[in-house]
Amino acid sequence: LLGISGTPVEKHITLDSPANVELSCSLASKYSHLKIVQVAWKKGNETIKHINNAENSWSIRLTVTNENELGSYSCTLKGEEEFKAVFHLQGKSLPKIEGKEKTIISYEGDKVVMMCKSSNYTPIAWNWYLTNGSEQIAINDSLLSDKYVTDRVPANTTHLKILKLTKKDGGAYWCEAVFKLGKSSGKLKLKVLTFMVPLKPFLAILAEVVVLVAAIFLCEIYSKKKEKRA
């Protein structure tokens, strides 16, 4: 990447898998006569050790294995003039997780199975979380093993089984797919109903029928009494 005096140069680099990367800053030939007295490579505010593998050329070598090593790397060359270049190292767009924003309805005392799937890539791990207010709580072996059961069969799919549902189990659940260079998540909503909910319309109709029958019965009694008086 050639330096241009007074104007920062930016370059975007996209990785789709872990890789060894070398980033290099070198002066254009028209600046080769300038004396550089200070060279600084940084990731954010953290200074990184560099190498001088050619005249007027400075590099860093990275082994990118996870998302923590992605980000913006900059080199600044100071002397009679100042040059700066910024490399934006980013991971390939992660796949969308199927099952996103889906609402599942079930009943108290029943069980439910929620599923998430990654179609194009196989995650190295799956995680499940439930939302408690603004906090996300990880669902793992230590969290009510007799309540939650998880599996990942096949490897690009994950299931969360919740047993003995109660009203408190309703809410938002998150599945998280962990890839080598990032994470992707999907949100599912669970609504838990009581068995009285589907009966409410029937009970309302039944109540109307009872009222109607009672009204007819009272009318009949009143009519008979009136006939006897006559």
Q: Is the pLDDT of residue 203 over 60?
A: no
Q: Are residues 61 and 45 in the same domain?
A: yes
With a threshold of 0.75, does the pTM exceed it?
A: no
CATH of the domain at 43: 2.60.40.10
pLDDT tens per residue, range 132-151: 777 888 997 667 778 899 88
For residue 167 the two structure tokens come to 């009203």
Local structure of residue 69 (DSSP, 8 states): G
Q: Are residues 137 and 186 in the same domain?
A: yes
Does any domain span residue 55?
A: yes
Q: Which residue has the higher pLDDT, 160 or 67?
A: 160
The boundaries of the domain holding residue 117 are 97-193
**Residue 2 near residue 9, CB atoms below 8 Å:** yes
For residue 135 the two structure tokens come to 């906090």
Instruction: Determine the pLDDT at residue 66.
Output: 82
pLDDT tens per residue, range 66-111: 888 899 999 998 888 888 899 999 887 777 787 656 788 888 989 9
**Does the N-terminal peptide bond of residue 154 adopt cis geometry, omega within 30 degrees of 0?**
yes
Q: What is the 3-state secondary structure (H, E, C) of 125-140?
A: EEEEEEEECCEEEEEC
pLDDT tens per residue, range 37-73: 889 999 988 999 998 877 788 999 999 988 888 999 9
Q: Are residues 189 and 102 in the same domain?
A: yes
User: What is 164-180 written as a DSSP string?
Assistant: S--GGG-EEEEEEEEET
Q: Is the pLDDT of residue 122 over 60?
A: yes
Instruction: Determine the pLDDT at residue 160.
Output: 92
- Of 92, 154, 149, nearest to 117 by C-alpha is 154
Does any domain span residue 157?
A: yes
Please identify, among 91, 120, 153, the residue that sits at the C-terminal boundary of a domain: 91
Distance CA 67, CA 100 (A): 23
**Residue 89 near residue 107, CB atoms below 8 Å:** no
Q: Is the pLDDT of residue 168 over 60?
A: yes
Q: Are residues 69 and 131 in the same domain?
A: no
Count how many domains the chain has: 2
